[in-house]
Structure 1
Amino acid sequence: MVFRDERWPEGTPGWVDLMVPDQAKAIAFYGSLFGWDVQRGGEDTGFYGMAELRGRPVAGIGQTPPGQDIPAFWTTYLAVSDVDRTAAAITEAGGQIVVPVMEVLKEGRMAVAEDPAGAVFGLWEAGHHIGTQVTAAPGTVAWNECMSRDFAAAKPFYEEVFGYGFQDISSDSFTYAVLLLDGRPIGGLGAAPPEVPSHWSAYFWVADVEASAARVAELGGAVEGKPFDSPYGRQLRVTDDQGVPFVLIAPNEQSGEPEGWEV
């Protein structure tokens, strides 16, 4: 388990949150699955829930505002030093801002954007809240990736706005590039099947994929397909009890355990 007290570097996925119709139901589901202790804020925060491990934030769970028909999904937030400047760069590069820049008390400033292929992601300019403060343990974010219906358009967009480099690991059966910042992998960009909308997704570490998948089913969620091994870990796509997809991943022989790993 690794603790972090500094802001995440520019362009790094540094936070994830979930907005759902039934916040209490989501808190119960993820608390049981990942061992999160979720602290709900007051009315001034919209009762936003801060999921914690060892007393430190790892993710957010909020309630969809009344009267708003917003699809429920895990949103990846990319760390920025100036959210206004990044928002302007997004529109110049062919994306759009879907939630304008706003102040979040003294915690930070945010916006929500959409890339040219329709994938939605957040921007977070840290104030008091720097983002995720725990990594390398079950229940923490392991990976973030954008699966795009227009890989050719998405790649130059993210390069222009965030300065990403790319490590191509494509094969005959899939198109995928690791996103690099200063040569360091921070996420992924892949080509989605034509029937799948462009989206960002979150992977969460678990100690045992099969055991966690069984727990997902017990809690009312669903399992999609069967676990498979990759050089990055043993993986399985699941959905929670409100139909929100995410990916479970556990260290395997190929990947080894991440530095600081603690179960």
Structure 2
Amino acid sequence: MGAFSEGTPCWADVLLPDLRAGKRFYGELFDWTFEEQDGGSGLLGEQRAAPGSPAGPAPYTTAYRDGRRVAALAPKGDGRMPTTWNVYLATPDAVAAARRVTEAGGLVITDPVPLTGDVAVVAQAADPGGAVFSLWEAGRRHGFERQGEPGSFCWTEVYTRDKDRVDAFYETVFGFQVHDLDDASVDFRVWSPAGTTAGDENAVGGRSVITDAFPAAMPAHFLVYFSVADCDETAARAAELGGRVNEPPFDTPYGRIALIADDQGAVFAVLAEPKAA
């Protein structure tokens, strides 16, 4: 795929304590194949060299579906790191975007750093509510080569308890055009890239709210979605592979969704779009 508009999710990777187990789980669940790269090519890969970690570079493993890049798996160099999926938002200038993050009340966790081989310049940040995300300034790679098809990324949304500050943050940092869902029972704001018309046809992500219906200890976070052909079959298969179905499949106007934790605890969602009538 070509260049991504600023603020558009363009890459995702998962930080795991057991890379071999991760390859087995996601390979069988999404029909992914894998390729290891020396030196890493993603921010979580860069973080592997934590104090006390084994000497030498650990492999940052790119995942492919039908020969096209869809995501990556990175080993945890430090047990204190979270086991989690991480989403990268595109920017033409990671240094400028990191500066806007700070000015808008967020936190730059990792300053912009070039990846080996001029792959990209990446940084990691947190919004004012504490949700962590990354920035991606494309070099040789723009990010996903496949998305919106089975076995690939299709959506992301941030969950927060501080919607007013978080809404202002993302709209300032990325210039999102926004609209709120016309459903009084759901507090959800949809993001469209700057220069486009706010609406589902241009949507790249969104903001949800952590309400009292969620566990009190749940932190603010981004949730990454993967497209699947059959939500129920995928959820059942994830359980067979040692994962956990946190939220059984349910229907929405956008398709059938399930919330899943892999066999090491990293949480993601799967979405099967409505079948054509």
Taking structure 1 as the reference length, the TM-score comes to 0.91
* Equivalent in 69, 81, 106 of residue 95 of structure 1: 106
Q: What is the aligned partner in structure 2 of residue 144 from structure 1? A: 156
The answer to whether 1:78 aligns with 2:89 is yes
The amino acid across from 2:114 in the alignment is: E
Structure 2 CA distance for aligned equivalents of residues 170 and 198 of structure 1: 24
Structure 1 CA distance for aligned equivalents of residues 177 and 146 of structure 2: 26
* Equivalent in 161, 168, 174 of residue 162 of structure 1: 174
Q: What is the aligned partner in structure 1 of residue 249 from structure 2? A: 227
Q: Aligned pair in 2 of structure 1 residues 149, 25: CA closer, same or farther (>3 Å)?
A: same
Structure 1 CA distance for aligned equivalents of residues 112 and 76 of structure 2: 19
- In the alignment, is the contact (CA less than 8 A) between 2:40 and 2:115 conserved in 1? no
Aligned pairs (5 A) from 1:240-255? 240-253=262-275
Q: Structure 1 stretches of 5 or more lacking a match? A: 258-263
What RMSD, in angstroms, separates the aligned Cα atoms of the two structures?
1.5
Q: What is the aligned partner in structure 2 of residue 201 from structure 1? A: 223
Q: Structure 2 stretches of 5 or more lacking a match? A: 42-57
Question: After alignment, is 225-234 or 160-169 more displaced?
Answer: 225-234
More strand by share: 1
Structure 1 CA distance for aligned equivalents of residues 30 and 91 of structure 2: 28
* Post-superposition CA distance 1:74-109 (Å, at most 9, x none): 111000000000000000000011112111011010
* Post-superposition CA distance 1:93-149 (Å, at most 9, x none): 000111121110110100000000000000000111110011232111110111111
The amino acid across from 2:103 in the alignment is: E
The amino acid across from 2:21 in the alignment is: K
- Percent same amino acid at aligned positions? 37
* Post-superposition CA distance 1:15-60 (Å, at most 9, x none): 1111111111111100110001111112566410000112221101
Structure 1 CA distance for aligned equivalents of residues 238 and 79 of structure 2: 27
Secondary structure at the aligned position of 2:268 is classed as strand
* Equivalent in 175, 186, 191 of residue 209 of structure 2: 191
Structure 1 CA distance for aligned equivalents of residues 145 and 161 of structure 2: 32
* Post-superposition CA distance 1:142-188 (Å, at most 9, x none): 10111111111100000000001111015343210111121221111
- In the alignment, is the contact (CA less than 8 A) between 2:40 and 2:60 conserved in 1? no
CA shift, 1:68, in A, is 5.0
Q: What is the aligned partner in structure 2 of residue 118 from structure 1? A: 130
The amino acid across from 1:213 in the alignment is: A
The amino acid across from 1:41 in the alignment is: Q
Structure 2 CA distance for aligned equivalents of residues 249 and 136 of structure 1: 10
The amino acid across from 1:29 in the alignment is: F
Secondary structure at the aligned position of 2:203 is classed as strand
Structure 1 CA distance for aligned equivalents of residues 109 and 39 of structure 2: 24
Q: What is the aligned partner in structure 2 of residue 153 from structure 1? A: 165
Structure 1 CA distance for aligned equivalents of residues 250 and 112 of structure 2: 40
- In the alignment, is the contact (CA less than 8 A) between 2:17 and 2:79 conserved in 1? no
- In the alignment, is the contact (CA less than 8 A) between 1:108 and 1:127 conserved in 2? yes
